[in-house]
Amino acid sequence: MLRLTWVQPEDLIGHELRQAAQDGRDPSAIAARWRAAGGCDAPARSGASPEPASPYLRLLAEDLLDELAELPGELAATEPTDLDRIKDLCPDWPDRRPVHSRTAHGDGQAYRTRLEAAWLGRAAGCLLGKPVEKLPLRGIRLLAQAAGNWPLKTYFTAHGVPADLLTAYPWNRRSASNSLAENIDGMPEDDDLNYCLLNLLLLGRHGRAFTTADAARLWLDELPAGRAFTAERVAYRNLLSGLEPPHTARHRNPFREWIGALIRADVHGWTNPGDPAAAAEQAYRDATLTHTANGVYAAMFAAAVLATAATGSHDVHACLRTGLTVVPPGSRLARAVRHAVELAGAHDDFDTVVDELHATHSPTHHWVHAVPNTALIAAALTHADGDFTGSIRRAVSGGWDTDSVGATAGSVAGLLAGSPGALPHHWTAPLKNRLSTSVAEFDGTGFDTLAHLTHREATRP
């Protein structure tokens, strides 16, 4: 039986009920109607419930999703999605750099080398997190401890792990065959890398002045629907139904504040070295295809952090501070990041930091939500002081969306490291300078080539 994930109305309704409570709408009456009719909670970790709902429940779910969208919210003033209103709330919004100043950071072999380190760092961090994606925090710790790999020193392995532990905490189904240390053979496909490739295509075809509609058309041309998940899959469906951005981000899309826009932000930071404002605005136009409010802010934050790191003249703490200048300071995302940075500075043991973050966010947030995952990225980078190994192992060991947080932490730390040679060999060698992807013209491409293509877009007039 085919149970298409992330789009069935009976699965979306539980996520939308939780999202409504988070953004200041009162969903209690609608939740009561859903449960009285026999409706279930959203799947805890997967994208679809095991059995389809009855036709009646499915129709009811669709109606209730539309009713939830009409509920008045309390946070619109502090968490807008309109860019001008976002800027109005950000008193320290960075100044835009003159074009000659901005591109000067990106000239020459030195920046291509830095970009290759960023690509490799993103891939290695993603690969480290792939086998344990969806696993609870306890499972991640037990699997690594059983293999003698805690704190994480290298990629996960099944060697030495008791069978009963693997039964209790099975590796991610899609990744077990290509992401454990014993079977890595190049970088396997992952959406955290696919979107970077799509954004290279986007910039190549439309330049930095691309529109959200340009991004939508590119997705329909180049992104297989089965390679999109959560908010991206819903937006893709909405495009095929005839909706246009930004409505694609809002219509029956309970994932609009999840992590999907953040994982697409790297190229926007990499191609605007020294100009976090330009990077954030570029990320905004991409993000609003699929996300609103905190989902958009997470992408803008990541792009601004990366644009600052790309110059090689700032430490990780300055980069994170700059990232916060493009996020409304009263938003849930800004508060979560500030809290995470404070925790990382207050505790020597990172497990204590992680436990505090989970106690704060896990009771109310899905494991793919942007707020806790962005906070974890900031905490990992802060606690590791930007060191590459320290950053990716902390990010992944913190759980939640492990491959995505590992990828973003690795991208930032790779930029800060400055060159592929500065990244430990045991992280980069298994990648074999080869990336697998369903973004057709990039399958098998090397990270050195991707760095060259990214540099071309960073220095394009």
Delimit the domains of the chain by residue range.
9-70, 83-131+187-459
Q: Percent of the chain at pLDDT above 70?
A: 97
Nearest to 356 by CA among 137, 153, 145, 169: 137
403 is in an annotated binding site: yes
401 is in an annotated binding site: yes
- Is the CB of residue 271 less than 8 Å from the CB of residue 457? yes
Q: Does residue 304 have a pLDDT over 80?
A: yes
d(CA 408, CA 266): 8
Q: Percent of the chain at pLDDT above 90?
A: 93
DSSP 180: S
Question: Which residue do the tokens 């043991």 mark?
Answer: 349
Task: Tell me the mean pLDDT in the region 351-380.
Answer: 98
- Is the CB of residue 253 less than 8 Å from the CB of residue 231? yes
pLDDT the model gives residue 105: 56
52 pLDDT tier (thresholds 50, 70, 90) = confident
d(CA 47, CA 63): 20
Tens of pLDDT, residues 110-119: 999 999 999 9
Q: Does residue 106 have a pLDDT over 60?
A: no
56 pLDDT tier (thresholds 50, 70, 90) = very high
**Domain range 83-131+187-459, its CATH number among 1.10.4080.10, 3.40.50.10420, 3.40.50.2300, 3.30.470.20:** 1.10.4080.10
Residues with Cβ within 8 Å of 66's Cβ and at least 6 positions away in sequence, in order, are 252
pLDDT the model gives residue 96: 84
To the nearest 10°, the Cα dihedral for 376, 378, 381, 385? -130
Q: Does residue 271 have a pLDDT over 90?
A: yes
pLDDT the model gives residue 1: 52
Question: What integer best gives the mean pLDDT of the chain?
Answer: 96
Tens of pLDDT, residues 124-144: 999 999 999 999 999 999 999
Task: Tell me the mean pLDDT in the region 240-269.
Answer: 98
Task: Tell me the mean pLDDT in the region 383-404.
Answer: 98
Q: Does residue 100 have a pLDDT over 90?
A: no
Task: Tell me the mean pLDDT in the region 69-76.
Answer: 90
Residues with Cβ within 8 Å of 239's Cβ and at least 6 positions away in sequence, in order, are 216, 219, 220, 248
How far CA 209 is from CA of 79, 214, 324, 460, in Å, comes to 25, 10, 24, 12
Tens of pLDDT, residues 143-153: 999 999 999 99
Enter the tokens of residue 348. 């020597």
Identify the H or E element spanning 56: helix 55-70
d(CA 126, CA 396): 9
315 is in an annotated binding site: no
* φ and ψ at residue 43, rounded to 5 degrees: -55, 135
* φ and ψ at residue 281, rounded to 5 degrees: -70, -35
Q: What's the first-to-final CA gap in the chain, in angstroms?
A: 52
Task: Tell me the mean pLDDT in the region 265-270.
Answer: 98
Task: Tell me the mean pLDDT in the region 365-387.
Answer: 98
Tens of pLDDT, residues 432-461: 999 999 998 899 999 999 999 999 999 998
How far CA 163 is from CA of 128, 157, 317, in Å, comes to 21, 13, 42
pLDDT the model gives residue 97: 79
Task: Tell me the mean pLDDT in the region 165-184.
Answer: 96
Q: Does residue 334 have a pLDDT over 70?
A: yes
